[in-house]
Structure 1
Amino acid sequence: MFCLAAALPAAAGDQRREQDYAEQIQRQLTDGRAVWLQTERQPFLGLYSDAEKTDNRDAAIVLHDMGGHPDQGPVVRGLRSTLPKHGWAVLSLQMPVLEIGASLDDYFIVFDEAATRIDAGVAYLQQGGAKRIAVVGYGVGAAMALYRLSAKPDGVMAFAAVSLPVADDRLPQAQSLEQIKRIGLPFLDVYAEFDLPSVLDTARQRRMAGKDNPVYRQIRLDGEGHAYLQNDNLLVKRIYAWLTITANEK
């Protein structure tokens, strides 16, 4: 698989860094199973877990933060391990990464590749029998999901954004507030009391951008920072409770 990746045209992201993540994760994986998905550019890793005691009809795609991987702790790992216990199959995707030290503004060049990976994730879950698919994005993963869903909500019934950043950049990929206005899906916007400035300082702007969406909801978790180290279980609980309520209303 890695030889195949090397033979493909060069992508904007750091493929070697992705390969290193994949090797490390597959050596240590104890929860779920590794699956390989494909875009026109390259193969990429996903981590899949079946829902417990259900038929995988409900499934969530989980997207990590900037420079991370599909088993990133504590947020992504918490979602991966907990959502299946509450009736949700989970597919956590490796999103494009850049070199260490790259900024949010640098990452906009890989948002189109990120959108195709979400497409591949939706297709994989649908082929496995999923009928209701939600996307849960964290940090830059949330911004990537927002970019895709604002232009193409196909196959997705709900979107939960954790610590969604808003950048001051003129690129189309960076127009998060305009993208929020185009989202008609049930939309949960969660952020932390001590989040990053790009998240915390734009909370009101995001809320105003979502005001015409009757199923937009914003909540702040007090006492937490961007990494959600104080009580990551509370964040996960808020997300799965919201997903369950949303799915039952469909």
Structure 2
Amino acid sequence: MRPLNNSSILILLLISNFAFAQVVPNYAKEKRWASQVEDGLMDGDVVWLNANKRQFMSLYTPSETNTKRAALIVHGLGVHPDWAQVIQPLRVALSEKGWHTLSIQMPVLANDKDAMQYIPLLTQADNRIKAAVDYLQQQGLNADAIVSHSLGSLMSAHYLDNQQHSFKYFIAIGMPDLAVKYLGKIRIPMLDLYGVDDIEPVLKSIKERAQASKKNKHYTQKRVDADHFFNDKDTLLIDEVGTWLK
């Protein structure tokens, strides 16, 4: 086989970069999720927001107390803002603990796509988080906390690393290894919460996440008796998050 010359290598790089840039969210899947969520919504209200020249769904759940504190809830890979595991329990429970919550639909891909294939969508994810923050501020609320799960923790870390923001607290539940590179500049109080039976990308990066956050004096890493989705451990999850936010 003949070795590639510089021109051939350049062409391959351009083709690769073009393919990378062409990754777009699965809007049809988002539409199906939205229909499903609206039909079964028990708590909160649907609010449609705009980013990247598209509408996306969010769920606003007002606090039961007189407060201006709001928490943004960011779900994980391929799901929706009322996902029964982690997301729905938190968005409702935090509203009972003195927080308005806004759970937002993040970009999703087809079911067979893994976390690495979401990397080209991080900028779009940033824009959705920014739109959610703007909405909360328009309601006279303070976007004080960002509470995220799994891939949502990667998206949230990317936002905090790359955007000016007003968040005071960052909770990352089941944060994967891909987020390590975005932790170095984060200085706000952060809870890195994971389970003893978590998934491999979380467990294999425990030390790396702590090392990347060594300059954050307000970084806390905590392991609890749970799996990645806190199956049958909603009370544990709510207690850990609620207590830390106090």
TM-score (norm 1): 0.87
Give yes or no for contact 1:34–1:45 (8 Å, CA) kept in 2.
Answer: yes
Within the candidate set 139, 143, 154, 2:154 is matched to 143
Equivalent in the alignment of 2:107: 96
Within the candidate set 18, 24, 32, 1:20 is matched to 32
Q: Distance in 2 between matches of 1:159 and 1:102?
A: 26
Give yes or no for contact 1:104–1:140 (8 Å, CA) kept in 2.
Answer: yes
> Where in structure 1 are there 5+ consecutive unaligned residues?
1-9, 168-175, 245-250
Q: Does 2:160 correspond to 1:158?
A: no
Q: Distance in 1 between matches of 2:81 and 2:143?
A: 21
Within the candidate set 212, 216, 222, 1:213 is matched to 216
Q: Does 2:122 correspond to 1:119?
A: no
The alignment-based identity, stated in percent, is: 33
> Which residue identity does 1:197 align to in structure 2?
E
Q: How many residues align?
A: 225
Give yes or no for contact 2:49–2:57 (8 Å, CA) kept in 1.
Answer: yes
Q: Distance in 2 between matches of 1:134 and 1:72?
A: 19
Give yes or no for contact 1:137–1:161 (8 Å, CA) kept in 2.
Answer: yes
- Higher Cα Rg, which structure: 2
TM superposition shift of 1:85: 0.6
Within the candidate set 37, 47, 64, 1:35 is matched to 47
> Which residue identity does 2:65 align to in structure 1?
K
Superposed CA deviations along residues 90-144 of structure 1, whole A, max 9, x for unmatched, are 0000000000110011111111111100000111111111135210110001100
Q: Does 2:192 correspond to 1:203?
A: no
TM superposition shift of 1:46: 0.1
Q: Distance in 2 between matches of 1:11 and 1:204?
A: 31
> Which residue identity does 1:115 align to in structure 2?
D
RMSD between aligned residues: 1.3
Q: Distance in 2 between matches of 1:22 and 1:131?
A: 26
Give yes or no for contact 2:72–2:143 (8 Å, CA) kept in 1.
Answer: no
SS at match of 2:140: coil
SS at match of 1:181: coil
> Where in structure 2 are there 5+ consecutive unaligned residues?
1-21
Q: Distance in 2 between matches of 1:79 and 1:101?
A: 27
Give yes or no for contact 1:11–1:41 (8 Å, CA) kept in 2.
Answer: no
TM superposition shift of 1:41: 2.8
SS at match of 2:177: coil
Q: Distance in 2 between matches of 1:18 and 1:188?
A: 29
TM superposition shift of 1:152: 1.4
Write out the 4+ residue segments of structure 1 that deviate beyond 2 Å after TM superposition.
Answer: none
